[in-house]
Amino acid sequence: RGVKAPIAIRVNPDVDAHTHAKITTGKSDNKFGIPLKYAAGAYEAAAKYPHLEIKGVQMHIGSQLTTVAPFVEAVEKVGPFAAELQRKFGISYFSIGGGLGIIYREALASGQAAWWEAQPADQRPLTPEAYGAALAPLLRPLGLQILLEPGRFMVGNAGVLLARVEHLKRGAGKNFLIVDAAMNDLVRPAMYDSYHEIVPVHRDTSRRALVSDVVGPVCESGDCFAKERQLQEVGEGELVAFLSAGAYGYAMASRYNTRGLPAEVLVQGSAFELVNTRESFEQMIAGEKIPAFLR
């Protein structure tokens, strides 16, 4: 009683983000948001409720965007509506969502300035500077607080998944590099057919190349990290790193095949510390109970 809930309504600007179909969120055939043509009515309806306080407007067109054009199109569509809401309801912020993509292919090389300098100017990956330069002229005149969700861009390439080689299986016309990580630890390749660079922790250029499917031990063929990937030859017990695993890695992990969630280690320079312990079998089943009618 006497409390007002601050709200913003998500609108759908019907903009194609040109990203993976499963992570585009701002087209008219996506499940998110109210179509822009109906949004004014939604705000008028919300304004009639005494315990709601209209504070902003929100949109999100997708994730892993590699060009700025879809962002510009979305802001050009929703910006005038945000200005109208400010005049009518005094909103204070405009949440323009997330979506800045990261480099998955050549992730390791992209950590060096020389890699960026070698890219043609018109083909360089989207940077915060380019993003800001394109959007600031459109957003600044609104005078609103601008909210962003740059999670993947901030942490995606800061995290790696370490796995140990269990076995190299030489099949009929195909090699399988079997590691102790699986799709339950990093589901993106299985779910989105996503590319993650795979790097042996001990790199030795004198070793010969090996082409193989890199797979985990889970009981389905979809448990595959890479098809026909060329790496240096690695032996049983050696470590490989799956790069760009800092975003949508642990957050999407599961206990499929009764595999516990992995441990997490935080690294700063040469210092490191375990910050999340590996889940044990006992922890996995701790919340389970046998109902009385089965006893």
Phi, psi for 190 (deg, rounded to 5): -75, -40
Enclosing H/E stretch for 7:
strand 5-12
Q: How far is CA 98 from CA 20, 66, 259, in A?
A: 15, 12, 31
Q: How far is the first Cα of the chain from the last one, in angstroms, to the nearest whole number?
A: 46
Question: Residues with Cβ < 8 Å from 9, sequence gap 6 or more?
Answer: 34, 39, 42, 43, 46, 57, 58
Q: How far is CA 137 from CA 6, 12, 14, 75, 238, in A?
A: 28, 22, 22, 11, 51
Report whether 198 contacts 226 (CB < 8 A): yes
Residues 160, 155: Cα–Cα separation, whole Å: 10
Residues in the chain: 295
Residues 57, 81: Cα–Cα separation, whole Å: 9
Report whether 104 contacts 244 (CB < 8 A): yes
User: Among 133, 143, 130, 139, which residue's Cα sits nearest to residue 65?
Assistant: 130
Report whether 244 contacts 189 (CB < 8 A): no
Given the residues 113, 121, 219, 292, select the one marked as catalytic. Answer: 219
User: Among 6, 244, 207, 284, which residue's Cα sits nearest to residue 108?
Assistant: 244
219 included as an active-site residue: yes
Residues that are catalytic: 219
